[in-house]
Chains A and B, each alone.
Chain A
Amino acid sequence: MTSPAIHIQGLRKTYVVSEREAGVKATLQSLVHRNTEEVPAVDGISFDLEPGEVVGFLGPNGAGKTTTLKCLSGLLHPTAGEVTVLGYHPWKRGKAFLRQITLVMGQRNQLVWDIPPLDSFELNRAIYRIPLSDYRRMLDELTELLDLGPLLRKPVRNLSLGERMKCEIAAALLHRPQVVFLDEPTIGLDVTMQRRIRSFIAEYNRRFGATVLLTSHYMADVVALCRRVVVIHHGRLLFDGELSRLVQDFTAHKTIVVQLEDTRANLRSYGDVISQDEGQYTLRVPKADTARITGRLLADLPVIDLLVEDPPIEEVIEVVFAQELR
């Protein structure tokens, strides 16, 4: 029984926020006394990752994903609980620990703007003290896997967002980290590039056996890469298990958004009415019944507009949350 690559037990992280109301009086008051409040970003979570696992970390904005990631990479000191990564305490920020991890954040540039990525790579080589031969070998592999050839010598500012992201990821992996933290790596990218990056991550994990913790807004990222997902909401774990189980819930429903003239129609016979606002009704229906119910709606009612879509992730979380309560 190998020890887990990542071990989290009862992790809590609260931070202190100061508030101030508007108006001159409050402004003057704030000079003397600041109103502070303690906000729990992460409120007691526990899970482990075995070496080589690729786990998806899901949750809406503000759920605590980024805070957890920062605790794992040593950027934040936990308020309570136990965290170890590869046997190290991340918050000690030991050099040996830092050399084995990497953090990639979507839409955040670490590459130096005005020069070709290759020179930023050289920087990382110096920072991580990568032996020349290892560096060259890794660079070749990454170039092949990510199709970096024509990009390496163009200044970063001349690259498209997707090309930049590929180079950012490559730069982050040059030192062959054993643990990879990816925070929204595909955000803002077009669909083709998202797919490219997903397949790269899968291939990287296969080739080098790295443990990957991936946070994302997009179910598609998680579906492509992760057998297991951990769902977090309001700082608490809602779900930790096989993706197939979560996917079952997720794809069990579809959302139909209908626009009618009548602002007070009763559509309960068609499905769960999630919201009703100025003639726009949002219904949740079982996936299998989508076509049938859509047909009924169009036949029965004077529909102005109709849209069928997957439920947003926030809703999935609500569903999971509701399920957990049961």
Chain B
Amino acid sequence: MSIHLILFLGFGVIAVAGAVNLLVQRHPINSALSLIAVMAALAGEYLLLGAEFVAVVQVIVYAGAIMVLFVLVIMLLNAGLEEKTKGSRVATLFGIPGMLLGSLLVAWVVLRHSGTEPVPVGALPGSPSTIGDLLFHEFLLPFEITSILILIAIMGAVVLASRPPTAGAGPGQKVKD
């Protein structure tokens, strides 16, 4: 058993355990923390695959920025325990066996027919300079389009999260009351 396989299994177990914990926990803050664990473990997997830039961006953007946004909203809205609701009986009777069957089939196909030759570790240098070179030459148009998308998303978030003027909480009305 090589060291790479051991590291892969270690990070993989952390990732799957975090994902299952996300499903099991009833409080959203616990789910958010386990999702951070999943993302950190995935950053380790990216490092094993030689994708340094992606691993660093995963930690900074995903586990950092996006999850901070999630935790901020959970605390802002004071989200409590999730209420339990009953699922339909058909879903438990047929859904779980069907899901198990489908996932076993997919696992069998992947193990049988996809490349069984090992992925060489560090064979593909995903350093920031190579990625940046690719990003600013071959993928320049998608890059510019995503910057416009980000701008629109910022404006949309500000518009959606700002208080609507018809709420009756404006400063002018308060004075009148």
Q: Say whether A associates with B.
A: no
Binding site for A on B (CB under 8 A): none
Interface, chain A (partner B; CB < 8 A): none
